[in-house]
Amino acid sequence: MKEARMYYENDADLSLLKGKTIAVLGYGSQGHAHALNLKDSGLNVIVAQRPGGDNYKKAIEDGWKPVSVAEAVKQVDWVHILLPDEVQKKVWEEDIKPNIKKDVILSFAHGFNIRFKQIIPTPDLDVIMIAPKGPGHLVRRQYEEGKGVPCLIAVEQNASGKAKDFALAYAKGIGGTRGGVLETTFAEETETDLFGEQVVLCGGLVELINSGFETLVAAGYQPEIAYFECLHEVKLIVDLIFEGGFGKMNYSVSDTAEYGEYVSGKRIITDSTREAMKKVLADIQSGKFANNWLEENRTGRPFFKKERKDVSERTVEKVGARLRSKMSWIKK
C-alpha cells in the first residue's frame, strides 16, 4: 500500500493570502475557529452571520462586525462556506451566486454540495476544500497552543492554476499544516465522511451501545451497571485506540478482555453486518442518501424529529443523565 503524502508548514506559503480578503460564512463551531485563526495569522477576514441567535452574539463578543452573506461576498476575494449542508444551495442561489466576483476562490469544509451537484460554480472560480479533522473548538484551542488539527484539502476547479497552493495556504492559516495535511477529492471526502458517520461514529456506535445496554437490562441486570459497562467505558477505550491504535488498547486492558475481543467481536460484526455496510456505502455513492436528506429538510424533517425524540427517551439516556449529574468532573 502506497503511503499518502502529508504536507506540513514548509509546504505552504501563507504569503499567497496576503492582500486577499476572506469571507467566512457562518460563525458556528468551525466558523468561529476558522475566522479567529485566520485573523491571528495576520489575514483579512469578514464574518457573515445572520442577526439573532447565539452564533451572532458570539461573533459580536469576539470582536467581529457580522454582515449579511450578500454584503460579505461582494467585498471579498475568497468565499469560505461553513453553513449547514442543507441550507447551502439556497444561500448559494440567493446570496452568493448573484454577488460573487469573477476569479474569486470558493471553498468548503465538506464536499456534500459539490459532490451531489447542489452547487454548480461557474468555471472562472477556483473551487477547493479545507476540512479540519476535528471539531471547531479543538481547531481553535490547538491553534492557540501552537499546535494544529490535521486537515484534508481538495481541488475541484483550478481556474487560477494555483488552487492547491491556495488550499495549503489556507490550511496553514488555520493551523492545519502544524498537524499535517492530506490531499483528497471532494467525492472521496464526502463519501468516506458520510460512511464513517453512519456506519461507525454515530449510527453504528449509538445502536451498538444501546443494544448492549438493553440486552443486559432485559437479562435482569441493574441499568446503572449496564450503563457503565456499555456506555461510560467507551470513552476510555476510544481514547486508548486514538492514542496508539488497537495495539495500545489491547496492551492496556486485561488479557481476559483481549481474549473476549477475539472470540466475540466477529460474532457481533458478521458478514451480514458487512453486507449492510456495503449497502449504506452504495446509497451514499448513488446520491440516494443525499436526496433523502434534502427531501427530509424540504418536508419539515418529520422522520428526523421523530427519531431524535425517540433516542432522547431511551432508558440509557435517562439513566445516563441521572448518573452524569453526579459526576462533577465531567460537568464542564
Binding site membership: which residues? 27-30, 50, 136, 193, 197, 229, 233, 254
Neighbour-count burial for 296-318, b at 16+ CB within 10 Å, e otherwise: eeeeeeeeeeeeeeeeeeeebee
Rounded CA gap, 283 and 81, in Å? 25
Which residues pair with residue 154 across a beta bridge? 129
Extract the runs of DSSP E, i.e. beta strands, from the chain: 6-7, 21-25, 44-48, 78-81, 105-108, 126-132, 151-157, 181-183
Looking at residues 250-277, what average pLDDT do you find?
97
Looking at residues 104-127, what average pLDDT do you find?
97
- Segment holding 134, helix H or strand E: none
CB 149 within 8 A of CB 17: no
**Which band of pLDDT confidence, cut at 50, 70 and 90, is reported for residue 4?**
confident
**Confidence (pLDDT) at 80:** 98
**Confidence (pLDDT) at 198:** 98
- 279 by DSSP, 3-state: which? helix
Cβ-proximal residues to 176 (8 Å cutoff; 6+ apart), any chain? 130, 132, 148, 149, 150, 151
Residue 329, pLDDT above cutoff 90: no
CB 176 within 8 A of CB 151: yes
Residue 215, pLDDT above cutoff 70: yes
Would you say the C-alpha torsion 130, 131, 137, 139 has a positive or negative sign? negative
**Confidence (pLDDT) at 331:** 61
CB 292 within 8 A of CB 302: no
**Confidence (pLDDT) at 88:** 97
Domains (range + CATH), the chain: 6-184 (3.40.50.720), 197-325 (no CATH)
**Which band of pLDDT confidence, cut at 50, 70 and 90, is reported for residue 332?**
low
Q: Is 34 a catalytic residue?
A: no
**Is the pTM here over 0.85, yes or no?**
yes
Binding site membership for NADP(+): which residues? 27-30, 50, 136
**Which band of pLDDT confidence, cut at 50, 70 and 90, is reported for residue 2?**
confident
- Model confidence pLDDT, tens digit, residues 131-168: 999 999 999 999 999 999 999 999 999 999 999 999 99
Binding site membership for substrate: which residues? 254
Which of 27, 16, 37, 11 is closest to 149 using CA atoms?
A: 37
Cell numbers standing for residue 132 = 479540519
Identity of residue 100: I
Looking at residues 315-324, what average pLDDT do you find?
95
Q: To the nearest whole percent, how much of the chain has pLDDT over 70?
A: 99
- Segment holding 109, helix H or strand E: none
- Model confidence pLDDT, tens digit, residues 30-69: 999 999 999 999 999 999 999 988 999 999 999 999 999 9
Looking at residues 198-211, what average pLDDT do you find?
97
Binding site membership for Mg(2+): which residues? 193, 197, 229, 233
Rounded CA gap, 155 and 166, in Å? 10
- Model confidence pLDDT, tens digit, residues 60-105: 999 999 999 999 999 999 999 999 999 999 999 999 999 999 999 9
**Confidence (pLDDT) at 297:** 96
- Residue count of the chain, please give it: 332
Rounded CA gap, 57 and 318, in Å? 32
Catalytic residue, chosen from 32, 110, 137, 232, is 110
**If you search the block for the grid coordinates 464574518, which residue do you land on?**
47
**Confidence (pLDDT) at 330:** 78
Question: Please, what is the Cα angle at 171 between 167 and 172, to 5 degrees?
Answer: 120
Identity of residue 31: G
Rounded CA gap, 117 and 127, in Å? 13
In Å, how far are 30, 127, 128, 226 from 168, measured between CA atoms? 18, 13, 10, 47
- 244 by DSSP, 3-state: which? helix
Rounded CA gap, 331 and 328, in Å? 5
